[in-house]
Amino acid sequence: MNSSNRKFIWTILILSAALLAAGILSLSLGAISIGPLEVLTAFLGKGTSQQELILYNFRLPAIVLAILVGLGMAASGTILQGITRNELADPGILGINAGSGTAVILYITFFQTAAGSLTTMGAFILPLIAFVGALLTGALIMLLSWKKGMDSIRLILVGIGVNAGLSAIIIAQQLRLEPNDFVKAMVWLSGDLWATQWIYVGALLPWMLLLCVYTLFKAHTLNVLNLGSQVSLSLGISATRERIILLIAAAALAGLGVAAGGGIAFLGLIAPHIARRIVGPKHQRLLPAAALIGALVLVLADAIGKNLLTPTEIPAGLVVAVVSVPYFVILLMKSK
């Protein structure tokens, strides 16, 4: 086994251990504190019924959800950076998150109030609406950037434009909402990981798994696309066709994430960035490492947001943004 393979395996092991530790830490924190050891004993079936209720019914599904959303956002960002050959691409910057947000806001303003939609039956429709919004935005970006094939720079520029337009629509629509709905929509758009019940985990998990396996299957294609359209074609890979397929996969991953977690910005940008520095540009290694980093960052951000200013909860998406912006600035200053 060569050194880069060994490094990759160690990276995955360390990240998995860190994710497990972050999960246990997050499980033990909250209004009712349960020590990490008690968490472990509770999972061995030796906790009190109150502890079990809190852990199984409230905290664990929230953490599993944060992991899934983090994986999805990071994988989506990695794909988008791969197909655009640009490390600034991510579902937030390309407008895919805003597309989900727009769909949700339009749904709330035209069909019912947010108060209703975020609690009862509407809660099942909301993720679907967000998902469809992401896919439609992906299709829109593709359509607008199409000019006898798909050029990566044009894709990014069009995405940034679409993002600006959709963000404007979101604000315009938000201003028309009732104050109560306005706050709810605002919190949702900042990424508050609201869908903290097993039923949502169940709805998300199979799709996430399917998309993640598919993305890993496409790892080699992403490697080749990284060499540019002409080299890809020379190697027998139709860059335009693969970019379309992968853009849909990235939009779907982000859409699922936004549906369950709200608009989490920057995660899709920084996770692949950090991963690339550790394991290099090969997607067979980059995708798993970025996904684990995305999950780890979101679990930690969620724990910080919930416990830093108790009883006020800060949406995890905002915590991610607060942590990522300095990282991003340092990165820009360091880059040549």
Partner 1 sequence: MTSLTAKNLSIGYEERLIVEGLNVSFSKGMITSIIGPNGCGKSTILKTMARLHKAKSGAVYLDGREIHETPTKEIAKKLAVLPQSPEAPAGLTVYELVSYGRTPHQSGFSRLSPHDRKMIDWSLDVTGLSDLKDREVDELSGGQRQRAWIAMAIAQETEILMLDEPTTYLDLAHQLEVLQLLGKINQDEGRTIIMVIHDLNQAARFSHEILALKNGRIISQGTPFDVMKEDIIKGVFGIDTHIIADPRTGKPAMISYDLIK
Residues that bind partner 1 (CB under 8 A): 2, 4, 85, 148, 216-217, 219-220, 223-224, 226-228, 230-231, 233-238, 276, 280-282
- Residue number, 210 or 231, with CB nearest to partner 1: 231
What's the closest the beta carbon of residue 266 comes to partner 1, in angstroms? Answer: 21
What's the closest the beta carbon of residue 154 comes to partner 1, in angstroms? Answer: 16
CA 45 to CA 33: how far, in whole Å? 18
What's the closest the beta carbon of residue 329 comes to partner 1, in angstroms? Answer: 20
What's the closest the beta carbon of residue 180 comes to partner 1, in angstroms? Answer: 48
- Residue number, 112 or 226, with CB nearest to partner 1: 226
- Residue number, 176 or 220, with CB nearest to partner 1: 220
Whether 134 and 262 have beta carbons less than 8 Å apart is answered as: no
- Residue number, 41 or 238, with CB nearest to partner 1: 238
What's the closest the beta carbon of residue 188 comes to partner 1, in angstroms? Answer: 36
Alpha helix (H) residue ranges in the chain: 3-28, 36-43, 49-52, 60-84, 96-111, 114-117, 122-145, 152-175, 179-189, 198-217, 219-225, 229-234, 239-261, 267-279, 283-307, 316-334
- Residue number, 30 or 280, with CB nearest to partner 1: 280
What's the closest the beta carbon of residue 83 comes to partner 1, in angstroms? Answer: 13
Amino acid at 190: S
- Residue number, 120 or 234, with CB nearest to partner 1: 234
CA 32 to CA 36: how far, in whole Å? 13
Taking CB atoms within 8 Å and a gap of at least 24, the contacts of 309-317 are: 310/31, 311/31, 313/192, 315/187, 315/190, 315/191, 315/192, 315/193, 315/262, 316/66, 316/191, 316/192, 316/193, 316/261, 316/264, 317/190, 317/191, 317/192, 317/193, 317/261, 317/262, 317/263, 317/264, 317/265
What's the closest the beta carbon of residue 285 comes to partner 1, in angstroms? Answer: 10
- Residue number, 276 or 306, with CB nearest to partner 1: 276
CA 233 to CA 34: how far, in whole Å? 57
